[in-house]
Structure 1
């Protein structure tokens, strides 16, 4: 067995997808989706460090039912409540609590609460980890030098500081897991941004490009990983679940391209239902799903 730690946040989400409809008060957040994604790579045990809200006991039940170790979570009264709005014109995340003088949200390109940082994990969280998913870290994650760290960048700090922020938070065992939105903060072409990150930091990049799949950049070349067999019901959490699966596969010894195949497989699972539901119902997989293609680019 490999042991993967997840350090991230939780949220309670109202999901609105045009024209499919809406679901309200859904458990969500990077920590939940990454943990459920990591556990779906066969042979993976998962440990999570996140705020655990007293007013939403369903999070603890989900972790307990699926065998996710939550001993390193810290109790809090509540977690952010979010509207997650999806349409053909784009995606928007809006906090349910607003201090605005009108009902209209002001410009917020990186999302509400994006400057907030999680407290460091409790003592002992890093012990024995083979892999670690670090969601939006403001500082370099503490980890054993042998632990493979998958870093999902902090959008606000990337927007403000660019590559300088990333230089401060990466280490020799980091694999960068940027989303399309995060890459767009650096360059209008997400693939060019991924190549620049890999070259500038000397680290592998597994970029998550939504419907265009994954784009993997390593010292050995660049690969596009596509899944044309996915059925999309609702998209929330697919990227975080993919990140968890990528790190679980890397921790088990996969190379970045093979890890991206696992991540793309678990993204297919996440997309098949609303919120965390398909991930919670799925069984772990021992190999990537068929129908996912890999193409090396020149």
Structure 2
């Protein structure tokens, strides 16, 4: 089954990372985690993300979108696809049309008519194309897969894996996963300064990637630079306020640095973001 990274979802759908994070936090979208902790979205996840983005573009408040999609998802069950469903913004409400039935998404109330067509803005759930693969990205992807295969062989192939990851980045400087994998490889080898330098280079091409800021902070922390690491965690949180791990790590560092207020603030936010059983 094909999967999409956060970066591919943003490029393909135009959705903001903040909107995606809200859907993940609400349990509406449940991506898997890759080997490097990156989100991996299924086709079903992408359908929900695109629907949310279309509604947000129609000026529906984010909280209303989350409530409406949660109810729609619950009404259909986990195994039911959303193909053929039309989700529309009617004023500041979310309405659903399927077959001959029309209803308000949040309340479930049946509607007799959507009103004039120009008053509604529809987000139709339809098949999604695969992410675009420009030539440079395709070359980089080949180096990336080679690097992953070498890395799987263990420490003896680490140098060759590093070289292949760097070839992937040289071919396509915006290759997020190559930076993440190589950075983790360097950190595993205790090369924290090299990992930090790599992540700083990545930010020249991907300044808005919260995960790069997070991994840079981890490398700085492990390398013995807690104050710089704390600044990195804060930049990560500014980009993605629902990043629970960043709040937890920031709280620890505030505590270690003697700032009880900062520690409490981030610990409280971390607890709020934990999924409830």
TM-score under structure 1 length normalisation: 0.30
> Which structure exhibits the higher relative contact order, with contacts defined as CA atoms closer than 8 Å and separated by 6 or more residues?
1
Structure whose residues are more often helix by fraction:
2
Structure whose residues are more often strand by fraction:
1
TM-score under structure 2 length normalisation: 0.31
Larger Rg: 1 or 2?
2
